Structure 1
Amino acid sequence: MARYATYIRASTDDQETSHQRDAIDEWLSQHEVDSSEIDRYVDLAQSGADPGREQFTELVDAIQSESYEYVVVWEISRLARLGSIYQRFFEHCEDAGTTVAITDGWVEEVRPDGTGKLIADISAAVAEEERRRLTKRIESGVSRAQREGKWLGRVPKGFRRDDDGYLQLIHEADRDAGEISYLEMRSAIERVDDGESYRSVAADTPNIGRSTIMSIDKNEDRRAWYLDAEADDGRVDQVLTNTTD
């Protein structure tokens, strides 16, 4: 039975996680941990404020079954970005006798007897406050940009952002830039609508992943962007209307 568990989390599909893996693997190597003793858990495109992350939930269940001596993470923020989730996680570890090793943090270990917990709590509280402040700044910036008709954040597939921050429809995709044209994205959604699987459509559609196609297909507003050329968001609707006209 594995004695060690590792946990990696990224907030988006395209967020780099190699630095987390490298730091964790270095810790395991330094402690001469055999690969057969490791269970690895990874949540991609998952918020740290979500307690229902699939792999995180499986990890907590395993900890409660007293499966692990150590859980190794890169930063405490990878476990949770809300104090309530964070506190429950460490309570489970304390009850199960599990030590949490942190490769890049204010404290190296949080042990079941409480050693390191105070510093970890302070670190988590600082991270949560930084998150609140960042969220407020983002909300303010988004509101301002929306009033001006600009687009902030990830650009939707089939669109690009011009130098002034406004959306444009992609007619000819730049493959090297990872683009897909609007009509290619529309065709992908139409194929799914006709019964093809997400995996099949993604396999022969450049620069588009299965998870992206699925997320658009399951979002009625987003589907309408491509199938009906309509959008409730004025910034997107303006682009579609101008193109139609």
Structure 2
Amino acid sequence: MASVACYCRVSTEDQSLERQLTSTQEYAEDHLGAELGDLEIFRDKSTGTNTDRSGYQDLMDAASSEEFEAVVVHSVSRICRSITDLERTAARLEEEGVALHIVQEGLTIKPEDDDPFQRALFQLLGVFAELEANMAQQRTKEGIAARQKNEDYHHGPAPLGFAKEDGQLLEAENYHDVVAVLDLVRQDQLSKRKAAQRLDTSRPTITRSLDRLGLYGLQ
């Protein structure tokens, strides 16, 4: 039986890793014959737009130490959201003789596997993961710009997750937490009441923020 590692990542502390843990563990058991108690689990609650993540670094160090023969991730975007980082990750795992299994896309990259279709699909998925991240950032910038042109902005308080400085709308320290919580509410995975409690604000503020999703790159 091959030793297996699972890697799971979400963007903020408020988000849960449970779904990814279940997905990767079930795949490892069903497809790789791994025992649940023998799996090595690596976790991150951080952005995927770079590799400066403790869980990711621990994963790669463990791969270099030959602690496992396969890594399972839920989707391409969970391990990297940059095509450059994704290709470097795959290359390093290959050098260490470690296979990369991607559950959602049904893709496996194995050492010394020259299947051109698998390689092309892997690169294409990486391109889309990076594009998605870039589009979300662009939507946020456009939302901020549109908000600053609105007369109400200049005379009212800054929206949830933002601060005003010298007439400019800037992301506050809790901006990414706000985005994560609003996204959960938008998907009916969290109530407005619980969202307000998590963000230490009121339900009306949550409601107003949901009417301005363009500000948060969620439209």
SS of the residue 1:63 aligns to: helix
1:94-150 Cα distance to aligned partner (Å, 9 max, x none): 111111111101x42111124422211111112212222221111110232245254
The answer as to whether partners of 1:48 and 1:79 remain within 8 angstroms in 2 is: yes
CA contact under 8 A between 1:2 and 1:39: conserved in structure 2? Answer: no
1:14-55 CA-partner distances (Å, limit 9, x unpaired):
1232221121122123133113431100001x1111212011
SS in 2 for 1:135: helix
| Matches of 1:180 and 1:11, distance apart in 2 | 16
Provide the residue aligned with 2:15 in structure 1: 15
2:137 to 135, 144, 150: 135
Taking a change above 3 Å as real, the CA distance of residues 175 and 52 of structure 1, as seen in their structure-2 partners, is: closer
SS at match of 2:14: coil
CA spacing shift, 1:20–1:142, aligned 2, 3 Å: same
**Distance in 1 of aligned mates of 2:44 and 2:37:** 21
Q: CA deviation at 1:152?
A: 5.1
Q: How far is 1:181 from its partner?
A: 6.0
Q: How does 1:1-245 map to 2 (within 5 A)?
A: 3-31=3-31, 32-44=33-45, 46-105=46-105, 107-114=106-113, 115=115, 116-147=118-149, 148=153, 150-151=158-159, 153=161, 177-178=196-197
Distance 1:175 1:94 in 2: 44
TM-score (norm 1): 0.59
SS at match of 1:15: coil
- Partner deviation per Cα, 1:150-187 (whole Å, 9 max, x = no partner): 41558959xx9xxxxxxxxxxxxx789425769xxxxx
In 2, Cα distance between the equivalents of 1:75 and 1:179? 27
Paired residues, what number?
A: 165
Cα distance, 1:72 vs structure 2: 0.4
Residue aligning to 1:203: none
User: How far did residue 13 of structure 1 move?
Assistant: 0.9
1:219 corresponds to which residue?
none
Q: 2: CA distance between counterparts of 1:181 and 1:90?
A: 41
Any idea what SS the aligned residue of 1:178 has? helix
Q: Which is higher, the Rg of structure 1 or of structure 2? A: 1
Mapped to 2, the partners of 1:87 and 1:176 lie a distance apart of 37
Change (3 A) 1:39 1:145: same
Which amino acid in the other structure matches residue 44 of structure 2? Answer: D
Q: Distance in 1 between matches of 2:103 and 2:132?
A: 20
Runs (4 or more) in structure 1 with deviation over 4 Å come to 152-157, 174-177, 179-182
* 2:146 aligned partner, one-letter code: R
Change (3 A) 1:127 1:18: same
Q: What is the distance in 1 between the residues matched to 2:160 and 2:42?
A: 31
TM-aligned CA distance change 1:179 to 1:135, over 3 Å: closer
Alpha-carbon spacing, 1:26–1:180, altered in 2? closer, same or farther (3 Å):
closer
Q: Distance in 1 between matches of 2:130 and 2:8?
A: 18
Contact in 2 for aligned 1:2/1:36 (Cα 8 Å): no
TM-score normalised per structure 2: 0.66
